[in-house]
Each structure stands twice: as structure tokens, then as C-alpha cells.
Amino acid sequence: MSAARRTVQGVPHDDRPTLFCLHALGSSAREFDALRELLADDFDVVGIDLPGFGEASAATGTSVDEMVGHVVRKIRRHGSTRFVLVGHSMGGKIASLVAARTLDGSSGLFGLAGVVLLAGSPPSPEPMGDDARAQMLSWARAGISGDGHLATADARTFIDDNVGAPLSPENDDRALSDVLRSAAEAWLAWFERGSLEDRAAEVGILDVPALIVAGGSDGPLGEAGQREHNLPMYPRATLEVLAGAGHLLPLERPDELADLIRVFWRERVGSGPFVSPGFGRVIGSGRTSSQTRAILAGRALPDDPDYTPQVLDAAQFATLRLVAERVVPQGPAPFDIAGRVDAALARGVSDGWRNAALPPDQEAYRLGLDALDDFATLDDEAKDSRIQAIVDQQYAPRAGTLTAEQMTLWFEDCRVDLTRTWLAHPATMERIGFDGFANGGDVIRIQGFTELGADRREAWEPAMPGPSARDTGASTTETTDTGITDTGITDTEKETVR
Amino acid sequence: MRLDGMRTYDDSEVVDAVVIGTGAGGAPILASLASRGLRVVALEAGANFDASKYTSDETEAVAINWMEERLSDGENPTAFGQNNSGKGVGGSTLHWGAFTPRPDARDLKLKTDSGLGEDWPIDPDELTGYIEKVEKFVGVAGPAHYPWDPTRRYDLPPVARNASSDMMIRGCEAVGITATDGPAALVTRDWHQPEHGVRPACANCGSCHQGCRSGAKVSMDTTYLPLAVAKGAEIRADSMVHGIELDASGRVSAVVYTRNGIEHRQRTKALFLCAGGVETPRLLLHTGLANSSDQVGRNYMAHGATQVWGKFPTEMRSHRGYPSSIITEDTVRPADADFAGGYLIQSLGVVPLTLSTTLARGGGLWGRDMVDMMDSYRYMAGVGINAECLPHEDNRLTLTDELDDFGIPKARISFTAHDNEDAIEKHAIRTMTSIVEAAGATSTTVLARTAHTIGTARMGTSADSAVVDADGRSFDIPNLWIADNSVFPSAVIANPALAIMALALRTADRFVAAGA
């Protein structure tokens, strides 16, 4: 993928998704320099110095909540609306909390697509030996009573204790100088409070694609620690162990991490549709309520490519996916509408009624799809003819499934479910030019709309694909660069359906 | 709404009245009775919501709709769900469109005038008196001069017009139809609602059907229910009624309901059934009560609500603003009618999932046609009708043998539009298409649908042919009263909620006058 540049609403933007990288204790954004170079073609890698580390002053506060707030502000200022949070060690706990607050709408961010934890500290208290904690606390206290930084000998010990094998001289220098420039009070805050805080209930279960990487020779945050503490919070995570690696993974194994992240993106994150930065900013803005932002954030998450149907069997599900392709021809980045419909059926979501001629929803779906078990053998034209025959009650399914009438009725429900699921995705909302969710934030005096007339737009509204205000003289059907057909139709056509 | 600090009653206490349902029927009754010092308890099947937590997201906003499954059949099966009953403290007024034309006096005398349908056993002037009382209390926005009723006055200036409104005004002018700002039950200025507080002026957010977050729109939880609670009524949310007990003399003595999985039995001197046109008859059929006439469940009516949408060369983006701000009543009795009754036309804004559902069900769209249509969503605006529907005995709600979570049989509603409904629709499609085309649409699409659930426990003058008398009182059980759209003898072309609220106040007065 190239890093093509374009401009959206005057704001410089590039097409690459962003990796917001949160470093470990005693480190800085510089630990991701190697990853940035390795991934530059595919990702905008943005390291964020946490308060008290790197270039960031400890003055903004070194508690977990203050670090979370700091990261949220940095991401908002950056403006990316398609990003992955990468958290190394201490940064892992911060990443999990930022992810939780983004998925529940409260951070005001939009566009989280995945989480990568590198020897991440969990939301629960960090597993750590008493001796190690006491030792590092003593370093921090000594620093505070001294010049505000750790002693060089202590810094040396810290690095040596955390690598699987010695770092390159260049990396070693860099790691050592990062420890030495970090604020001892930030260390103290982490060991006295931050690492001990139990935020697991607050984070809950994060249903987001996740990659968890452990060093094979790491200590308490190695494979066993990751399995026990982080994996249960990320049901969609894959766990990778780098044999022989210690705790400082971005410095020790940047090449392997870059490969893992590329594969993670390609296979588990990057396939679905996403919104433009301008549209994402409106979802993230104070015009959209937190509840609504949370709903849209959940829906914007990439689908699980290995989704196992819960209501339909494998054959029925494969048929539904083929039906969905014909009923809702999506753009170049489709999402798994069929999987979402199966999941809704499994949750028992009801639309409030069913035609009395049909069996209950789940059974109707199974029988309707059984009746289409030859669908895969049809070419596109034949598939569409079959569907139209069903709509027209001209298709007689084989015995043991549904009657022709039932087939028509079930397919009416089916196409409603598929279409509504398609439209519920924020990327579809942008595609069709709907920003009506941004009609009021978390206030009683909701903002609503002031410009209500034709061809009127408010200053906050995002640019929409296609011409935003049509030249009424234009009379030909045109296709925009998004592949969306415009509505200019010269001849009045009437369509009456009952 | 705030229910902390409200007066509460014990199940074993014999209260003066239990009201089932807290929508447009139950809420005014509750307020009216509590204001007179009666001890009243409302049982509401749904939750008590915090309005500020509503979401404009269409998929999730169904929390305020009655989404428990109903079975539909007949030639024109009703699509229930989001389009009909509500659930929650406030009932259907949580999601209603707040379009509040008044019932036309001619509609109440339809049978006298046309020989078809039914008359209401109520003096239209008396009903209008109650309607004015409701409008005064809840706040209704409307035009300074109402062309079809010059004496009418609205307390609040009309709601802001959107692109759909401008389109309908333009189209009507071009074809010689009078149209103006419609009556809308929402406040267009900050409004002090007694016992509730300030309801901020409508912000034109366009999410009326997903629940009004600010309280500008009239809903029972911001109007009658706070008054009721202030006057000593208790509202029990999450309370599903599934039994009614009678004493030896055949009067209601207690109501059986389940709350949080526990069965309760509230003793009472009287019962008001205000659960709406589906749940009211369903409970009566389930309990086998008040049905010596065999009329419970019969004469189910659904307003014709066909829409005509146009594509325009300009961006309409009709999700902005109050969705249905323009009305014409020119079609209440069209000169060239070949049918009884008539219809109203309103301008239409719509949100995408709702539009796509109507396109799929009413328009048969799928595939590339659907995607293309939704891709032109922002260029679409429309008009729609609310049309007379005559009562027919065979349009009927019955019970199935499928049980819901409370062990109550699910309802089956059979509805078929007859000749009169078809004739109205034909006329309306012609009229609407001419308006939308005259307004500049480059193409039009007709979408068939119905709205509202009416008439399943009809009011009448004879115990042989009606469930309740002209006061709303059961012919069979003297302390059972019904006040919701199920008592409507005919559909009336005005949207029903205003008439339901007015009838509810009247029923409360009749109850008190009867000393029951």
C-alpha cells in the first residue's frame, strides 16, 4: 500500500491507518523508531511520550487516569479516525483503558480498529515479584530525594534485567538515556499506585481485534502472565510468543513485530469499510451523544473473519453470505452482513412481528436457506433471477423447506434484515450522506439542526461523497469517484408498487 | 422520568383504581384521578427510561418500542414493531410523531353521512372541549390561522420547516391545494410544564421517533405523568399484567402482574385498561372477560399511510428537523371522492433504516435497486397520508397457541384492506404524486404502508354490538373502563393520540361522575 496523500476538508491526511504507540515504564516514544521505519509504507506510526517520560513533562500528572487523558488528547489532536492502539508493558494498561473508553463512547475518540499489546501490563494489578517491586521503588525514591532521576547504576540494572539478550549498542544507549531522563516521580506513581490499580471491571470485555505478544524469556508479563491477565479481556485476541525475547520487545525484535502487525492488520483488522476523517470527527464530536458514539464504535469494528454461525449451519451460512452479496452489493471493502444477521438471530432480536404463515424467525431462516442450497452453483445473473422469482412468488422450493408463499414472505424479512444491517454501519451512513446521529450530545439543550432547507449545510457537517449541492441544470446520470451513482434523472419515471 | 419520592401503595391495599398502561390513554386518567385525591396505581409493562439516554441510532432506539412478537396475516399484514405500540413509562408517546390534527366532526358521523363505517356515540363539541384542554396543558405548535377551522388557535408558533416542508408547500401551491404548517405536539419555545419543569424549545434534531431527548416533544413522561406523581399516583414500571380477578358480584377486585420475575396481586376498586389496540384486547381475550358481545378483537383498523417519495435535484436531507411539519386537510372530503371518508396529507422526512424497510416491504426493492435508492437518500423527500379505514368484523385480533415469556398467548392480527381503503389509496396516490411532481421531483416512488392499531374493543350504545358504552365503561363489568385507541368505533382520519388523550380525560370525568 502506498502512502498516498490527499486533503479532506483542508486537513492534511494520509490514507495509512495510524498506530498510536504507548511505551513502557522508563522508555519513550523513541522505542518505536525501528517499527516506524519498518512499517512506514503501511502505517502512520505515532509514538506518544507518556507524562514523565521522553519529552513529556510529569506536570500533566502521572496517574493512570492522567496518562489515559494525555493519550486521548494526543490522539484527538492527531485526528486519525482509523487507528490501532499499541501498548508496551505499562503502555498496555493505558491502551486497554483508552480502548475501553473509546468503545463506550466516553473518550470522544472514534475509529479504534484494533489493539496490540507487547508484554502489556494488564488492566488488573500487574503481576510483579515483591523483591522486584521493592527494588524499583527504592530506585525511584532515591531519585526523588536526589536530582529527580534514577541513578545510572540503577538504570543499567533495569535494562539488563529486562532483555532476553543484550541490545545493540545503539539501542542500549537509547534505552539507558530514556531511563535516565525519565522522572523518578513517574516511576513512583507507577509502582505505588498505577501498577496496583485494579481496572479490570472498568475495562470489561473488549470485543475488538487484538494481538498479544509475549517475550519467551520475559518474567511475570511473559506468556503465562498474558494468558492469565490480558487474554481473558480480549476474546478476539491472538497470542504470539517470541522465543528468547525479554521484556523490551520493540527494541529487541522490531522486525518480527512489524511482520506480526502487518499480518494482524491484513487478516483481522483491515478488510472492512471505514469512515473518512471528517465523518469520524463528527462522530467523535460533542454533537454526537456518548451512547450513540459507543453504538457506532461497536458497529465500526472489523468483523471476525473466522466467525462461526450460531443459528445457521455452515451450509446455510455460506448460502446467506451469497444471498447477501446479491441483496446488498457493497463497495470495494465489504463487511460481513450475513454474520451480523446470524448473530442478531442468535441474540433473539425481534422486529416485533412475523407473518403468521411463517415459522419463528430462526426456523424460517434455516428452511429458507435450505431451499436455496443450490445457490452457489448459479452465476450472478441466475442468482438474481432466482431472487426475483422468490419476490414474485414464482419460485417453488423443494419439499421439506418452505412453500412458495412462505419463501416470498421469509425473503421479505431477510432482505429487510440484510439492508438494515448494511445501513447501520457508520461507513454506509457516510456513503449515503446521513449525519443525523450528530443531532445532539450529552446535554439537555441538544444542538439539533439549524439549517433545514434544501442544499443547506452547517459549518460542522462533514463533506459527503459526490456533489454536495447539485447543479440543477445537470441532467445526466454521473458516477462519482466513489462509485456512487448520482441521482440526476432527466425523464420522470414512476414506480408504483403495492 | 423521576419516580424517586413518589407515593407508593401496598399490593394488599385496596386502591381506588389501577390503570394498565401509561401512554396517551393511561397517563391523563392517572393525572385526572390523582388530582382529585384518588389513590391510583399505574402498571406499565416497560421500563422507566431516562430520556437523556435515548439514542438517535435507529437499530438501538427500539428499546422504547413494543418489540415482543405479534403474528400478522390477512391480505395486508401489519408490520408491527417500531411502527406501532410503545413500551416504557409514557407508552407510545415515547416514539410517536406528535402530529396532532384534531378529529374532524364529519368523521365522527361517518355512518350518518355515508351509510358506511360507524358513528361515535359522542358529541363532537364535547370531544373538542377535551381536546382544547389537552392542547392547553401539553403545548401544541401550529399556524396562526388554520385554514380549515378559522376559530382554532394554537399557543405556540409552528415548528421550523425543512426541505420536505418547502417541497410540499411548493407542490401544493402549484396544484391548487391549500397547505400550511401542521399542528405538532411539541414546544417551539421554552415551556414550563407543571410538576415537570422547563421543556426546552425543539432543536429540530429530527429524532422524534427515536425518543425526544430534550423533552420538547409531548410525551406522557414529561406532561401528564409528572402531574400524576405530584398528586400522589404511583407508577410501577416493568410490570406486565396477565390476570384480572373478579369478586363474587362480577366486579374487578384485583389485578395480577409480574414484576422482576415475581408475581404480584394489586387489589383495587376499579380498573382502567389503557394498553392500546393490541394489548388491551389481548389481555381481555386471555382473561376471557368483558366479551359477552363477542366484539373484543374485532374491527381492527389501521390507517392507510401510503407515501409518495420524490427524488429532487437538490439535497433534501430530510432527517433534519421535525419530520412532518406541513398538513393539508383539503382531502378530508374530496369533491371527486368515490369512497366514504377521506385522508390527511403531511410532509415527510425520514431516517435511512426506516426508509429502507418501507422500500423493501412496501416497494419490493432489493439488490442494486435498493442500493441505488439509498445512495440517493439525501435527495429524497416525500408526502404521506393518514386515511380513513372502515371497521370490518373479519379484520380481527385473536390469540394463537404460542405463548410469550409471561405465558400469555401471542396475538394474531388479520387485516385486509377493502374496497373503500383501496379507493382512498388510489385517490391519494394520484394527489400525492401530483404534489411531488409539481414540486420538482425527477422521479417518484409509491410505498404502501399502514399505521396505528385501532378499534378492537369498540365503544357503542348497545351491549350486543360493543365492548364499552359511550363513557368507556364495560357493559359486562361495571368497574372496568377502557380508554385507548381500542375503543374507537371508527378510525377517524386524524392521528389518534390527541383523541386518545381527550377521551381519557372524559372517561375519568365519567368515572368520577358515576361515583363508581
Q: Is A77 on the interface with B (CB under 8 A)?
A: no
Residue that wins the pLDDT comparison between A496 and B20: B20
Query: With contact defined as beta carbons under 8 Å apart, do A317 and A341 qualify?
Result: no
CB atoms < 10 A from the CB of A380, how many? 11
Closest CA to B487 of B21, B15, B18: B21
CA atoms within a 13 Å half-sphere pointing along the CA-CB vector of B186: 35
- Tell me whether residues B206 and A439 touch, CB distance under 8 A: yes
pLDDT for position B84: 84
Run of H or E including B117: none
Q: Do B68 and A424 count as a contact with CB atoms less than 8 A apart? A: no
- Residues in chain B with CB shorter than 8 Å from the CB of A350 are 67-69, 81
In angstroms, the Cα distances linking A384 to A327, A366, B399 are 9, 20, 38
DSSP code string of A232-247: GG-TTEEEEEETT--S
Give the residue from A228, A260, A20 showing the smallest Cα distance to A121.
Answer: A228
Q: Answer positive or negative: Cα dihedral of B280, B281, B286, B290.
A: positive
Taking only residues 442 to 471 of chain A, the set having a beta carbon closer than 8 angstroms to any beta carbon of chain B reads 442, 444-457, 464, 468-470
Nearest to B255 by CA among B266, B269, B263: B266
Q: A255 in contact with B at a CB cutoff of 8 Å?
A: no
Residues near A287 by Cβ (< 8 Å), separated by ≥ 6?
A438, A439, A440, A441, A447, A460
Residue A8 has pLDDT above 90, yes or no: no
Residue A109 phi, psi (nearest 5): -95, 155
For residue A408, give the chain B residue with the closest CA.
B364
**CA of B24: how far to CAs of A423, B280, B334, B483, B502, in Å?**
32, 14, 30, 9, 9
pLDDT for A7 beyond 70: no
Q: Measuring CA to CA, which residue among B314, B433, B319 is closest to residue B384?
A: B433
Residue with cell 498506530: A19
DSSP label of B79: -
Asked whether the beta carbons of B73 and B414 are under 8 A apart, the reply is yes
Q: Which residue has the cell 462533514?
A: A462
* Rounded CA separation B465/B294 (Å): 8
pLDDT at A2 over 50: no
Residue A284 dihedral angles phi and psi, to the nearest 5° = -80, -5
Residue A487: per-residue pLDDT: 31
Helix (H, G, I), strand (E, B) or coil at B101: coil
Write out chain B residues lying below 8 Å of A432, CB-based: 352, 374-375, 377-378
* For testing contact with chain A, the best of B56, B369, B421 (most A CBs within 10 A): B56
Distance, CA of B516 to CA of B514 (rounded, Å): 5
Type of residue at B222 = T
* Neighbour tally for B154: CB within 10 Å: 20
What sign for the dihedral angle of Cα A18, A24, A30, A33? negative
Alpha-carbon span A232 to A203, nearest angstrom: 11
Write out pLDDT tens, residues A135-171: 999 999 999 999 999 999 999 999 999 999 999 999 9
Of A434, A488, A497, the CB nearest to B319: A434
- DSSP labels, B134-149: HHHHH--B--SS-TT-
Q: DSSP code of B10? A: -
Q: Is A444 close to B357, i.e. CB distance below 8 A? A: no
Helix (H), strand (E), coil (C) string for B175-211: HCCCCEECCECECCCCEEECCCEEECCCCCCCCHHHC
Mutate to test the interface with B, among A411, A452, A490 (most CBs of B within 10 A): A452
Closest C-alpha to B164, from B11, B342, B312: B312
Asked if pLDDT for residue A468 goes beyond 60, the answer is: no
Q: Mean pLDDT throughout A401-405? A: 97
In this predicted structure, the answer to whether residue A332 has a pLDDT above a threshold of 80 is yes
Radius of gyration of chain B from Cα atoms? 22
Flag if B314 and A353 touch (Cβ within 8 Å).
no
Cell digits of residue B496? 389518534
Contact A352 B73 (CB under 8 A): no
Q: How confident is the model at residue A449 (pLDDT cuts 50, 70, 90)?
A: very high
Q: For residues A354 and B78, what is the distance between their CA atoms, to the nearest angstrom?
A: 9
Q: Is the pLDDT of residue A488 over 60?
A: no
Q: How far is the C-alpha of B346 from the C-alpha of B435, rounded, in Å?
A: 11
Band (pLDDT 50/70/90 cuts) for residue A48 is very high
| pLDDT single digits (tens) A274-311 | 999 999 999 999 999 999 999 999 999 999 999 999 99
A422: closest chain B residue by CA = B353
Which chain A residues contact residue B356 at CB under 8 A?
416, 419-420, 423
Q: Which residue has the higher pLDDT, A10 or A422?
A: A422
Distance from CA of B386 to the nearest CA of A (A): 17
Distance, CA of A232 to CA of B75 (rounded, Å)? 52
Contacts of A479 in chain B (CB under 8 A): none
Decide if A381 touches B, using CB distance below 8 A.
no
Grid coordinates in use for B86? 410503545
Q: Which of B338, B388, B405, B445 is nearest to B108 (CA)?
A: B388
Q: Touching check for A472 and chain B: CB below 8 Å?
A: yes
**Of the candidate ranges A426-430, A481-485, B219-223, B485-489, the one whose mean pLDDT is the lowest:** A481-485
Of B155, B148, B154, nearest in space to B179 by CA: B148
User: What distance in Å separates residue B165's CA from the closest CA in chain A?
Assistant: 9
Mean pLDDT for chain A? 91
The nearest CA of chain A is from the CA of B32 a distance in Å of 29
Contact check, Cβ <8 Å, A449/B443 = no
Question: What mean pLDDT comes out for the span A475-485?
Answer: 31
Interface of A with B in 318-337 (CB under 8 A): 326-329
DSSP A338-350: HHHHHHHHHTT--
With CA atoms as reference, the chain B residue closest to A456 would be B315
Residue B138: the pLDDT is 98
Q: Give residue A465's pLDDT.
A: 65
Q: Which residue of A has its CA nearest to B202?
A: A448
Give the H/E segment covering residue B294: none
Per-position DSSP letters for A84-123, written without gaps between them: EEEEETHHHHHHHHHHHHHHTSTT----EEEEEEESPPPS
β-pairing verdict for B180-181 and B40-43: unpaired
Determine the angle formed by the axes of helices A130-145 and A152-162, rounding to 10 degrees.
150
pLDDT at A470: 35
Chain B residues touching residue A110 (CB < 8 angstroms): none
Largest pairwise CA distance in chain B:
70
Q: Residue A331's pLDDT is what?
A: 86
Asked if A416 lies within 8 A of B357 by C-beta distance, the reply is yes
Query: What pLDDT score does A464 carry?
Result: 76
Nearest neighbour of B446 by CB, restricted to A420, A449, A495: A495
On chain B, the residues whose CB falls within 8 A of the CB of A470 are 313-315, 379
Say what the pLDDT of residue A491 is: 32
Query: What residues of chain B lie within 8 A of the CB of A488, using their CB?
Result: 313, 442
Q: Which of A23, A422, A420 is nearest to B82 (CA)?
A: A420
Residue A266 DSSP symbol? I
Between chains, do B163 and A354 touch, taking CB under 8 Å as contact? no
Record the cell numbers describing residue B85, joined without a space.
405500540
Low-confidence ranges of chain B (pLDDT < 70): 516
Asked if B232 and B44 count as a contact pair (C-beta separation under 8 A), the reply is no
Whole-angstrom Cα distance, residue B360 to residue A327? Answer: 11
Q: How far is CA B162 from CA A445, B56, B167, B206, B319, in A?
A: 20, 18, 9, 10, 9
Contact assignment for B378 to A464 by CB distance below 8 Å? yes
Return the bridge partners of A20, or none: A46, A85
Select from B195, B19, B179, B198 the least CA-distant residue to B91. Answer: B19
Give CA separation, B449 vs A137, A245, A388, in Å: 71, 65, 21
3-state secondary structure of A306: coil
Instruction: Give pLDDT, residue B315.
Output: 96
Q: Hey, what's the torsion of the CAs at A229, A234, A237, A240, to 10 degrees?
A: -20
> Least CA distance to A452: which residue of chain B?
B162
Instruction: Please choose, from the candidates A434, A453, A428, A419, the residue with its C-alpha nearest in 3D space to the C-alpha of residue A288.
Output: A434
User: Nearest C-alpha of chain A: how many angstroms from B117?
Assistant: 25
Task: Measure CA of the first residue to CA of the last residue in chain A; give whole Å.
Answer: 48
Pairing type for strands A237-242 and A353-355 reads: unpaired
Write the residue in A289, A434, A450 that is nearest to B377 by C-beta. A434
| Amino acid in the structure at residue B406 | F
pLDDT at B516: 61
Q: How confident is the model at residue A466 (pLDDT cuts 50, 70, 90)?
A: low
From chain B, the residues in CB contact with A450 under 8 A are 204
Does A444 contact B374 at a Cβ distance shorter than 8 Å? no
- Taking an 8 Å cut-off on Cβ atoms, the answer to whether B80 and A452 are in contact is no
Mean pLDDT across A241-255: 97
Distance from CA of A246 to the nearest CA of B (A): 46
Give me the phi and psi of B272, to 5 degrees please. -110, 120
Q: What is the dihedral of CA B421, B424, B425, B430, to 10 degrees?
A: 170
Indicate if the alpha-carbon torsion angle A206, A208, A209, A211 is positive or negative.
negative
Task: Give Cα separations from A424 to A292, B58, B210 (angstroms).
Answer: 12, 8, 15
